[in-house]
Structure 1
Amino acid sequence: MALDVRKNEPTDTLAGLDALELAGATARPSPLTRVWSAAWPMLAAIGIALLFWQAVVWSGWKDPWVLPGPAETLPIFFDQITSGSFWAAVGLTMQRALVGFAVSVAIGVLVGALVSRFMVLRRAFGSLITGLQTMPSIAWFPLAILLFQLSEKAILFVVVLGAAPSIANGLIAGVDYTPPILLRAGKVMGLRGINLYRHLIMPASLPSFVAGLKQGWAFAWRSLMAGELLVIIGDTTSLGVLLSHARELNNTADMISYMIVILVIGIMIDQLFGVVDRAIRTRWGLD
């Protein structure tokens, strides 16, 4: 009697595909390989930037005292990062940044949730939020100084106005792009009000919300640097104050060193947001 093997073909095909997928999943690179694959593009970019910097210096476009090269600047940079007073200035700047960003997140989430939930608020304040997001942060400082004088509140005021609109817009965009079928399913399951946001809308809008947080941090960091250059409070020393003093003394090597530190901090925070983004993509099966 002949055996009909065709009825087993779909099962055999699925089993073969599962075996291939599992084989690919087990063939993971070593930790050292993963670290190197992540590090070498950044190292190459740093090398290219240093070569371009040195080429500009060699071109004679500016005098060496105006634009020193890497050989003159990097030793000063390494001396600075071993100084306790320098790290005290970095600590004050990061404290201001974290406090301002935390307040911005709280306000941005509240405003974004309300505007995305109520159509009347969307029509009233939707365009205003976008307008605040596009407004240069430095334009707020005259008003901030008039309201709060030269104080921490003036800096916090501008940082929040720079970051909160981006965070609110990120949440609004995430809510707008939540699939309607998910909302209907949630309502069928009895989710209403805060529970609907907590268990369905917030998780569904998480990718856009994280993008808004990342953009909000960028605006907060830029606003803070502008604030520390303009608002010098007593004898406090921050990265902005060090940068301003180096400019007043025409000490370009120190000034570039502080700019490198500001850039490195921005890159490190961006990497943290990248870790969160990759975790979300992995959880959603997109990575």
Structure 2
Amino acid sequence: MASDTGTTTVRAESETISGLDALEIAAKQKVHSPARLLWAATWPKLAAIGLAVGIWQVVVWTGWKDPWALPGPAAVFGDLGQYVRTSAFWDGLATTGRRAAVGFAAAVAFGLALGLAVARVRILRAALGSMITALQTMPSIAWFPLAILLFQLSEQAIFFVVVLGAAPSIANGVIHGVDYVPPLLLRAGRNLGASGLNLYRYVIAPAALPAIVAGLKQGWAFAWRSLMAGELLVVIATKTSIGAQLVYARELSEAERLIAIMIVILVLGLFVDAAFGAADRAIRRRWGLLRTRQ
């Protein structure tokens, strides 16, 4: 009887060990190299680009438009290679990048302060809550007549419209983030001694962070659109920019250069979107909402 019990115990232990080995082997099989992970994340985008270029080439082959109006991908990408090697491209990129960074930074500061104030003060919520949404839905192009009237054709006019275009989205992100903080977290924070600024720093801000990041991402999209519209309308002769070069290409009927500049604008937007996407994934991973690869 005793021997049977010992045999059963040894068998159970061996089965447990083999089960752990199986789990370890399965975990090792899920490990992927960085190159494979990079390829898995990249090939869908490359496939989408290839599909778009293929459709573009097919449209050109149909003869729907003359080549001077709609050139093919080969001509455009050839001109794009020449364009990025010119000093005009880098000067324009520097001007546009500086305007985007300064305008978006000001919009972030203003939007965060406004959103936090409206979220926590009832009088401001009643007075400005719907107004912020109305400002968000207003097309940025509609602000330019007023901006030009106030600041003429200047950097200040572009800055004015970029801030007004982005700040309402950022403020709305903060408002929705704070509104959806669970009351249980607030009570727990207060019970642990958090109050005033510490309550915002350690409880409200981390809980509202996903919504705030979403508002920042949407705010950037509005800021970028406002900036491009501003550079198309407010062409400052002393300062070249990506938008101004787009206007010049249109006036000179340089279709290859015009589409090449549009591709540059698209790529810049994709890079910034990728940065916001990385921040969003980091937050979800920290919250346990995204599966991590071991």
TM range (shorter): over 0.9
What is the match of residue 265 of structure 1?
A: 268
Partners of 2:238 and 2:161 lie apart in 1 by 21
Is residue 173 from structure 1 mapped to residue 179 from structure 2 by the alignment?
Answer: no
What is the match of residue 92 of structure 2?
A: 89
Partners of 1:23 and 1:195 lie apart in 2 by 44
Q: 1:201 to 1:25 in 2, by over 3 A?
A: farther
* Candidates 241, 245, 248, aligned match of 1:245: 248
Matches within 5 A, 1:48-63: 48-63=51-66
What is the match of residue 157 of structure 1?
A: 160
What is the match of residue 147 of structure 1?
A: 150
Mean Cα deviation higher: 197-206 or 184-193: 184-193
The alignment partner of 1:178 has SS state of: coil
What is the match of residue 103 of structure 1?
A: 106
**Superposition deviation, residue 111 in structure 1:** 0.3
Partners of 2:145 and 2:163 lie apart in 1 by 15
Mean Cα deviation higher: 19-28 or 50-59: 19-28
* TM-score, scaled relative to structure 2: 0.90
1:157-186 Cα deviation digits (max 9, x unpaired): 000000000001111111111111001111
**Superposition deviation, residue 200 in structure 1:** 0.6
The alignment partner of 1:205 has SS state of: helix
Matches within 5 A, 1:22-41: 23-24=26-27, 27-41=30-44
Partners of 1:275 and 1:17 lie apart in 2 by 34
**Superposition deviation, residue 234 in structure 1:** 3.0
Deviation >2 Å, runs of 4+: 16-27
Structure 2 unaligned residues grouped into runs of 5+: none
Amino acid of the structure 1 residue aligned with 2:168: P
Partners of 2:20 and 2:66 lie apart in 1 by 65
Partners of 2:109 and 2:144 lie apart in 1 by 22
Partners of 2:54 and 2:43 lie apart in 1 by 16
* Candidates 229, 234, 239, aligned match of 1:231: 234
**Superposition deviation, residue 24 in structure 1:** 2.8
What is the match of residue 139 of structure 2?
A: 136
Partners of 2:125 and 2:135 lie apart in 1 by 15
**Superposition deviation, residue 20 in structure 1:** 3.8
Partners of 1:251 and 1:161 lie apart in 2 by 33
Amino acid of the structure 2 residue aligned with 1:252: A
The alignment partner of 2:64 has SS state of: coil
Structure 1 unaligned residues grouped into runs of 5+: none
Partners of 2:110 and 2:21 lie apart in 1 by 47
Partners of 1:236 and 1:22 lie apart in 2 by 61
Partners of 1:156 and 1:104 lie apart in 2 by 10
**Superposition deviation, residue 152 in structure 1:** 0.8
- CA RMSD in angstroms comes to 2.3
Is residue 201 from structure 1 mapped to residue 204 from structure 2 by the alignment?
Answer: yes
1:234-278 Cα deviation digits (max 9, x unpaired): 321000000000111111111000000000000000001111111
1:11-36 Cα deviation digits (max 9, x unpaired): x99xx699848953783200110111
Matched residues, number: 282
Partners of 2:116 and 2:29 lie apart in 1 by 42
* Candidates 74, 77, 80, aligned match of 1:71: 74
Amino acid of the structure 2 residue aligned with 1:181: L
Amino acid of the structure 1 residue aligned with 2:123: V
Is residue 283 from structure 1 mapped to residue 282 from structure 2 by the alignment?
Answer: no
Is residue 213 from structure 1 mapped to residue 226 from structure 2 by the alignment?
Answer: no
Amino acid of the structure 2 residue aligned with 1:227: G
The alignment partner of 2:264 has SS state of: helix
